[in-house]
Amino acid sequence: MIPKTLEEIANYIVSDGKGILAADESTGTIEKRFRSINVESTEDNRRKYREMLFRSPVMAEAIGGVILFDETLRQKSSDGGYLRNVILDHGSLPGIKVDQGVKELEVGCDEKITIGLDGLHERCQEYEKLGAKFTKWRAVINVSDEIPSDNCISENMKALAEYALIAQQNNMVPIVEPEVIMDGSHSVERCHEVTNQTLLVLFEMLDKKNVNIKGTLLKPNMVLSGTENKYQATIDEVAEKTLQCLKSSVPDELPGIVFLSGGQSDLDATAHLDAMNKIGGFKWKLSFSYGRALQQAALKTWAGEDDNLEAAQEAFSHRAIMNMKAAQGQWNKSLEG
């Protein structure tokens, strides 16, 4: 039974430890990933790779939704049906990335603004007819001692709220993704400060637009040390600081928080999620919406060879199960084998 209402869809995606497979890499990004395994990024290779993931037996158990790129939502599968129907047949829901990337907030500055509001209503109308059940929009917040400015946060959160309302008007759940970027030398405390401010402004803007929070999902970063900071916060510190941040800014009625992995290693992304769920004490579901951290092992195993499809599915299934367990606070390192 496919969920129908916004609230049913949002709750289904994060039910029973399920999370999201982020397979919405742009053409340029997937080309980089394929280059790392010496595979040409043709439409057929992209289809073959993603279809391999979508047909994995683990989908019904661990993946509640799949974020797609425009090409993939329209693409045919190897048997002549649509890839979006392969996802549905495997017990998951197809979704779609609807933002159109970022540009400089002002000429020559390090701050970004996400674009894509022009024509968004019409695109969402089409995506809903094509079978998308949810949508995603990413805002990029860079961090240093000087940035982000209040204006950068405000403009990006305003756009996220505007997008969320348009998605809901078209019967699709909005995933709001305010990503505080981990690149930089900032401390974990600075990341906490910026993430907290960003989320407080986001939910203020969503409230102003009368967005139905019960039919919305949040895709935030975890509170991490900047990649170039010599002190890297421990697993427990990341879990504690992230939860502290979320509890002070996210309303209880939100059905779920699905973290982005943001360049973390596969194991770190799983361990951090598990540590938070072991601490507990929150009303929302705390799960995952990972791209690389779910796909990397499968991509390397596949390496563009048909003979490797089954082994690649096993690699993907393992990571998906590990993250499902983490979303229930039931993971430990010994399960990694």
Cα 248 to Cα 34, 87, 159, 167, distances in angstroms: 40, 36, 22, 26
Cα torsion angle, 170, 65, 254, 257, sign:
negative
Q: Which residue has the tokens 């002002």?
A: 106
Helix (H, G, I), strand (E, B) or coil at 76: strand
The alpha-helical segments, DSSP class H, found in 209-265 are 235-247
Active site residue 177: yes
Residues 311, 34: Cα–Cα separation, whole Å: 18
Q: Which residues in the chain belong to E strands, given as ranges?
A: 19-23, 63-68, 93-97, 102-104, 112-114, 134-141, 173-180, 217-218, 256-259, 285-290
Strand 102-104, strand 217-218: pairing: unpaired
Report which residue type is found at 160.
Answer: L
Please check whether residue 224 is in contact with residue 273, taking contact to mean a CB–CB distance below 8 angstroms: no
Neighbours of 151 (CB within 10 A): 12
Q: Which residue has the tokens 């990006």?
A: 156
Active site residue 237: no
Nearest to 213 by CA among 165, 282, 171, 170: 165
Crossing angle of helices 235-247 and 266-279, rounded to 10° = 60
Given the residues 136, 158, 219, 285, the one annotated as active site: 219
Given the residues 51, 111, 177, 179, the one annotated as active site: 177
Please check whether residue 134 is in contact with residue 13, taking contact to mean a CB–CB distance below 8 angstroms: yes
What amino acid positions are annotated as catalytic residues? 177, 219
